Amino acid sequence: MIDAKFIVNNLEYVKEKLKYRNCIVSLDRIASLYEERRKIVFEVDNLRAEQKSLSKQIGFVKLKGGDDSEIRSKVAEVSKTIEEKEKKLEEVELELNDLLLLVPNIPLDDVPQAEDEKGNEVVEYWGEPRKFDFEPLPHWEIGTKLDIMDFEASSKVAGSGFIVMKGKGAKLERSLINFFLDHNTLLGYKELLIPFLIKSDSLIGTGQLPKFKDDLYKVEGEDLYLNPTAEVPLVNTFRDMVFNENELPIYVTGYAPSFRKEAGSYGKDTRGILRQHQFNKVELIKITKPEDSEKEHLAMVRDASDILKLLGLPHRIVKLSAGDMGFAAAKCYDIEVWLPSYGTYREISSVSNCLDFQARRANIKFRDSQTKKLDYVHTLNGSGLAVGRTVIAVLENYQQKDGSVVIPEVLRDYAKFDKI
């Protein structure tokens, strides 16, 4: 959430920065409501002071044995006015808060100002795409031929957008999850095993609600949703907490299946398992002091990129434009892995610096060791990594002419086999 005072004091600047962020609410309305709230608060404070003064007068009149009925009538009148104004204040604050929850994060100044992925900037390449001496197959054909993916069974069980992994395919996916978690913990991230069902307060805290409610699976009759990304439970583990400055930064990692309706992606990537309603993901989260979040962001990008290096998978790092970033991000790098069947790089991790955007919504603060004042932390998140997409990358990049797939060396101790 953006501080309303900042919006009001920098209205034209915020409008310009959000030009490509698909902001669906009126910033002018927010400014108007903020001023209306300030005016009502000022009036209520003055009325309370008047009420207090009149109450004291009643005491003096009583002490002298006089008639206090006129003053009591005035007190009742003031009290009624206060009640009316407080009711109006509640309405104004409710509308203001509802609008603020729909305002996306403000991009940092070095974020490309463009409306979509065409404005993204490639900042680094790693590895050379493999040159095949045969026609490489897409992962869905590899998976079917090796009998490690069962699209028919998944369709029967759950419909489209799901997959049943079988045998060595299932073992490969599980091996990747364990490898990711082990790698992350070696880098200092504490592993958390988290709930897969999430309350609405948690989804508001990280920014999925209210804007993206149509992409979430809700449990009927309960305030519970299926987890859309492990970012939500991991960040909200720290909701309503105050840290001492010396406790920061905090690094956590966790695995969770993620569930999304993918409502806006109809017709995209319909073949294979690139886009699923249910998919496994390992997440990285950092809680930092404001002045440290930029360097911690770059370090997190390296942490995720290093996993792909260990797997020997060619990839690139892309700085996203303002229009291509997620709702809560102030700056985001995508890590894209090379997929031979697509002939291009595809996202396998998004690493975002959210500044204090989520911390304001989730009320996560720290106490400055010098001033003892409270301030909001900064939160960062990134996939480390998306498991299903890594399976795709391994199958496609390590496929052999005889139809087999060689397992990357770093995974062999986990998988207990070196070829599928």
Q: What is the pLDDT of residue 264?
A: 58
Query: Beta strands 315-319 and 121-126: pairing type?
Result: antiparallel
- Are the C-beta atoms of residues 38 and 8 closer than 8 Å to each other? no
The secondary element (H helix, E strand) that includes residue 80 is: helix 69-100
Say which range, 23-37, 155-169, 263-277, 373-387, has the weakest mean pLDDT: 263-277
Q: Considering only CA atoms, which of 5, 9, 11 is closest in space to residue 37?
A: 5
Q: Nearest Cα to 318, choosing from 349, 343, 285?
A: 349
- The tokens for 278 are 């249910």
Q: What is the mean pLDDT of residues 375-392?
A: 98
149 class by beta-carbon count within 10 Å (0-12 exposed, 13-18 middle, 19+ buried): buried
Whether 66 shows a pLDDT value over 80: the answer reads no
Helices (H) and strands (E) in the chain — how many of each?
13, 15
The confidence score (pLDDT) of residue 268 equals 64
Distance CA 352, CA 324 (A): 12
Residue whose entry in the numeric block shows the structure tokens 């610096």: 353
Whether residue 151 is predicted with pLDDT greater than 70 in this model: the reply is yes
Q: What is the pLDDT of residues 241-286, one digit of tens each?
A: 999 999 999 999 999 999 999 865 555 677 899 999 999 999 999 9
Specify the amino acid at residue 344: T
pLDDT at 343 over 80: yes
Once rounded to an integer, what is the mean pLDDT over residues 211-225?
97
Determine the pLDDT at residue 95: 98
Side-chain-side CA neighbours of 301 within 13 Å: the count stands at: 22
pLDDT of residue 266: 55
Q: Are 334 and 211 in contact (CB under 8 A)?
A: no
- pLDDT level of residue 54 (50, 70, 90 thresholds): confident
Answer left, alpha or beta for residue 281, where phi above 0 means left and psi between -120 and 50 means alpha.
Answer: beta
Q: Which of 322, 321, 329 is CA-nearest to residue 18?
A: 322
Give the model confidence (pLDDT) of 74-115 as tens digits.
Answer: 889 999 999 999 999 999 999 999 999 999 999 999 999 999
Which amino acid is residue 25, in one-letter code?
V
Nearest to 391 by CA among 408, 409, 414, 416: 408
Residue 63 has pLDDT above 80, yes or no: no
Q: Can you give the pLDDT at residue 267? A: 57
Dist CA 82 CA 76 (whole Å) = 10
Looking at residue 265, its pLDDT comes to 57
pLDDT of 72 reads 83
How many CB atoms lie under 10 A from the CB of residue 112? 17
Kindly list the structural domains of the chain, giving each domain's residue range(s) and its CATH number in brackets, ordered by start: 4-100 (1.10.287.40), 117-415 (3.30.930.10)
pLDDT at 55: 81
Can you say whether the dihedral through the CA atoms of 142, 145, 149, 155 is positive or negative?
Answer: positive
Q: Which residues of 351-379 are buried (b: 16+ CB within 10 A; e: fewer)?
A: bbbbbbbbbbbbebbbeeeeeeeeebbbb
Q: Where are the beta strands (DSSP E) in 72-168?
A: 121-126, 149-150, 164-165
C-alpha 336/C-alpha 236 separation (Å) is 27
The token pair that represents 163 in the structure block: 């997959």
> Over 80: is that where the pLDDT of 218 sits?
yes
- The pLDDT value recorded for residue 262 is 82
Find the Cα–Cα–Cα–Cα dihedral 97, 99, 100, 105, rounded to 10°.
160
Q: So what's the pLDDT on residue 263?
A: 63
| Mean of pLDDT over the chain | 96
Count of other CB atoms within 10 angstroms of residue 155: 14
- Percent of the chain surpassing pLDDT 70: 98
Question: How many other β-carbons are positioned within 10 Å of the β-carbon of residue 128?
Answer: 8
In the numeric block, the tokens 């203001």 are attached to 96
